[in-house]
Structure 1
């Protein structure tokens, strides 16, 4: 199956999430069957994820705080035992005893019970298995005594602009003040996380998009401009739009029924601008780029690629 074609760009870019009305901001219900998606890129993407985990510092890819261990264990068992073998029975199977999980695409086999956490301060072995079984990056968030959600665990092989390790333990408000812009985003996300009921049937999804000047999936830098970057960077820097990509993140949010931890999964899609133009959507994407606004445009480094990309889309 070919990768899905998502085109979430609109003339006005919004960073808000979970405000009212939700449909105006891109929040929509997500079918349980669509929590995790598979397409023909799955084998190459999983191979890339394994390579990234082997070659990059572990703490940049995987992390589990002691408080998140019950939630990570619940997530592991749910994905390997209850979701994948049911949703994709020809690709993921359980042994006759029900104790082993087999990925028929990669031929990996794992125990249904999550690996033991011999040292809670180290990245959880369960997260590594999840990160190399599904293509989606995942983040586990837990509420504090004030009801504010913070990042407690993650398995992230396809970051775009910042390592999740720098955000571990931060609340949504802190995450979206440093370095990303968005007072409204952090507040509306926390409201959404708080009111979301546990259970996969209550999952919701949204899309985030940006333009990148290359096709890197693992990008710890280069895609964003942060508040401490130089303000006088040249705005006339030339880029080749033929190498630029439309990067779309499909974000699904749901709560585990046992621990009630919030889980955010992110599947990243990369499309060439030539592909978007061929669909007759060049003008629509150009208007989306122009409608980002000053704050978001700076964060997404529009000053570097914006002029060349818009001219190309309209050519």
Structure 2
């Protein structure tokens, strides 16, 4: 019987040949991969070098992706998660039972001025969109009563300085959820634009010669809910006084800004009772000594029976000697507010101009009463005639609405 053994295929020359070809093919494939990897590394290397070169050039120009560096100004703290839609306006300031006209002393009943952290120079809250829309409308209607420049040659550097700091540095840093800085290329060269996510506006963050000073002021007025006054000391004077050289004021109360341009502080505050006796000399001294990098704030208040923010008429908020005054029996609760200004003051580092700014708040007296501050406000109304300038009660028209408002608050 024959032994049946399985047929075992013996190695052959062709098998060796195919294996060698496979090895060569695999080696070639691996080499190609290596070459691809090397080319990729070289590409990434040069891409990184190019990116670094661009970044270095940008940093040399003072640009760090999100903002333009402004080392001459104090550093600004960021608010990465700021939500303007849920941010309430600041509450009314504490109201004193006696009204003092003063620059503020630590030992007085009215300390007046307070130190202000530079990061809190501007405040934004849930009224932002509505208020910016109002400012745009009132600027279009009122012209020089909202935006004006006296001596353009002298004041332009100051306006440019504040403009570039706010649009190039402060806003994109402080409120990054609302503003973003873009680096763009135009035929004329590189430019920086600030995008406002809320209004959709896009404004230059760096000033060119073609942008007038009035346009810069208008842009400020369309971007932030803040009124700005620029002041410089008089020239060629042994005792220089500060003069109002430019402004953007959309919330004037009881005065027409167009009548104040080019005037000294004393002339601007001429109608204020007690100013020449109680405040003029100390204010002049204080303004002359404000240091760069030091920011201060204060607040004032009055009661208004008009919901309009721009009220330049003299008889709308203030009363003057000789005015025809008539006391009212009641007030319209829908149009009666405690009107407060959060005022700030600082000196610009390069131009050395002073910037006086204020943000206007309207608090319905119904809200004041509901919040439990009715008696505090009633006492403060009486206190207008109990401080160092009793005429303030008349000047703020307390003789018109005072008794009616107090009756409501205490009812």
User: Under a length normalisation based on structure 2, what TM-score does the superposition of the two structures give?
Assistant: 0.71
Q: CA 1:192–1:23 in structure 2 vs 1: closer, same or farther (change >3 Å)?
A: farther
**Which of 159, 173, 188 in structure 2 is aligned with 1:86?**
173
* Greater displacement, 138-147 / 252-261: 138-147
- Determine the C-alpha separation between the residues in 2 that align with 1:25 and 1:150: 26
Structure 2: gaps of 5 or more residues: 1-86, 185-190
Q: CA 1:130–1:153 in structure 2 vs 1: closer, same or farther (change >3 Å)?
A: same
TM-fit CA distance, 1:279? 1.6
TM-fit CA distance, 1:220? 1.3
Aligned to 1:295: 391
How many equivalent residue pairs? 306
Alpha-carbon contact 1:11-1:284 (below 8 Å) kept: yes
Aligned to 1:206: 298
Structure 1: gaps of 5 or more residues: none
1:1-315 aligned at under 5 Å gives the runs: 1-18=87-104, 24-56=110-142, 58-65=143-150, 66=152, 67-97=154-184, 99-114=192-207, 116=209, 124-144=214-234, 145=237, 146-178=239-271, 181-183=274-276, 184-199=278-293, 202-221=294-313, 222-227=316-321, 229-230=322-323, 232-234=324-326, 236-240=327-331, 242=333, 243-293=335-385, 294-315=390-411
TM-fit CA distance, 1:264? 1.0
- Determine the C-alpha separation between the residues in 2 that align with 1:22 and 1:258: 35
TM-fit CA distance, 1:96? 3.1
- Determine the C-alpha separation between the residues in 2 that align with 1:282 and 1:9: 11
Alpha-carbon contact 1:85-1:94 (below 8 Å) kept: yes
Alpha-carbon contact 1:81-1:112 (below 8 Å) kept: yes
Q: CA 1:60–1:6 in structure 2 vs 1: closer, same or farther (change >3 Å)?
A: same
What whole-Å deviation, never above 9, does each CA across 1:60-86 have from its counterpart, x for those lacking one? 000122221111111111111121111
Alpha-carbon contact 1:53-1:157 (below 8 Å) kept: yes
- Determine the C-alpha separation between the residues in 1 that align with 2:264 and 2:201: 35
TM-fit CA distance, 1:31? 1.1
TM-fit CA distance, 1:194? 1.4
What whole-Å deviation, never above 9, does each CA across 1:248-307 have from its counterpart, x for those lacking one? 100011111111111011101101111111121111111111111231111111111011
Q: State the structure with bigger RCO (CA 8 A, min sep 6), 1 or 2.
A: 1
Query: What SS does the corresponding residue of 2:183 show, helix, strand or coil?
Result: coil
- Determine the C-alpha separation between the residues in 2 that align with 1:61 and 1:180: 25
Alpha-carbon contact 1:8-1:207 (below 8 Å) kept: no
* Greater displacement, 182-191 / 151-160: 182-191
User: Under a length normalisation based on structure 1, what TM-score does the superposition of the two structures give?
Assistant: 0.91
What whole-Å deviation, never above 9, does each CA across 1:201-247 have from its counterpart, x for those lacking one? x10000010000121111112111134x42x522x333415131000
Q: CA 1:21–1:192 in structure 2 vs 1: closer, same or farther (change >3 Å)?
A: farther
Query: What SS does the corresponding residue of 1:44 show, helix, strand or coil?
Result: helix
TM-fit CA distance, 1:5? 0.8
Alpha-carbon contact 1:115-1:126 (below 8 Å) kept: no
- Determine the C-alpha separation between the residues in 2 that align with 1:17 and 1:211: 21
